[in-house]
């Protein structure tokens, strides 16, 4: 029912889905960019529903407790636990916690916004790349292009050489348009 509703919304608003979206996505990191508006989340959720993709996103474990869990769980939230692995050790990094998620799950698709904010950022957070490489999963390039009214996952990159891969990622995103284009920048370190 929700999928049919999303298809209807896309159709009446003139949006389309990228026909190149891989059909069998089971374990990967999906980049969500450009991220310039709160509307991005809703278009992304509609796209994922249309393609029947069980997309998850990470959130602090406190946000997965009642009453917040009433919203965060149905929307795909997955708790990040950064507690020390052993007594007398410091907290683990967000990146390490996400790598651990992939160790525990046979099927896991995690959505990440490497810009980290809806404001213009010329330097992206690269944790998504390190997570994918360490977990042995690909990075899928998800996007919402407001100018062309299309949403999708158009490309899959298997991390090998960070410099080369990041340049390929930035080349791809330079052609995408956020709702507020002035708030978006590809990472200038990889142009």
Q: What is the mean pLDDT of residues 141-154?
A: 93
Confidence of residue 167 (pLDDT cuts 50, 70, 90): very high
Task: Classify strands 150-157 and 139-145 as parallel, antiparallel or unpaired.
Answer: antiparallel
The pLDDT of residue 145 is above 80: yes
Predicted TM-score (pTM) of this structure? 0.86
In percent, how much of the chain has pLDDT > 70?
100
Per-residue pLDDT, averaged over 1-7, amounts to 88
Residue labelled with tokens 């299309």: 150
Quick one: pLDDT at residue 78? 82
Q: Which residue has the higher pLDDT, 19 or 157?
A: 157
Q: What does the block give as tokens for 177?
A: 């348009």
Locate tokens 């709160």: which residue? 38
pLDDT of 96 over the 90 cut: no
Contact, 93 vs 83, CB < 8 A? no
CA dist 52 and 23 (Å) reads 10
Write the pLDDT tens digit of every residue in 30-75.
999 999 998 888 888 888 888 888 888 877 777 778 888 788 787 7
Taking the C-alpha atoms of residue 116 and residue 112, their distance in angstroms, rounded to an integer, is 9
């Amino acid at each position: 029912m929700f999928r049919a509703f999303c298809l209807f919304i896309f159709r009446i608003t003139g949006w389309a889905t990228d026909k190149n979206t891989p059909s069998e996505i089971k374990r990967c990191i999906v980049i969500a960019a450009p991220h310039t508006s709160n509307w991005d989340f809703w278009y992304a959720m509609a796209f994922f529903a249309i393609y029947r993709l069980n997309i998850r996103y990470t959130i602090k474990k406190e946000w997965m407790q009642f009453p917040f869990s009433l919203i965060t769980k149905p929307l795909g939230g997955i708790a990040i636990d950064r507690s020390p692995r052993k007594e007398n050790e410091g907290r683990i990094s967000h990146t390490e916690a996400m790598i651990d998620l992939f160790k525990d799950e046979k099927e896991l698709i995690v959505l990440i916004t490497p810009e980290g904010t809806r404001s213009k950022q010329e330097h992206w957070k690269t944790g998504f790349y390190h997570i994918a490489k360490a977990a042995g999963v690909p990075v899928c390039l998800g996007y919402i292009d407001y100018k062309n009214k299309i949403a999708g996952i158009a490309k899959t990159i298997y991390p090998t050489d960070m410099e080369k891969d990041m340049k390929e990622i930035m080349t791809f995103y330079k052609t995408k348009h956020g709702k507020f284009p002035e708030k978006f920048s590809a990472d200038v370190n990889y142009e």
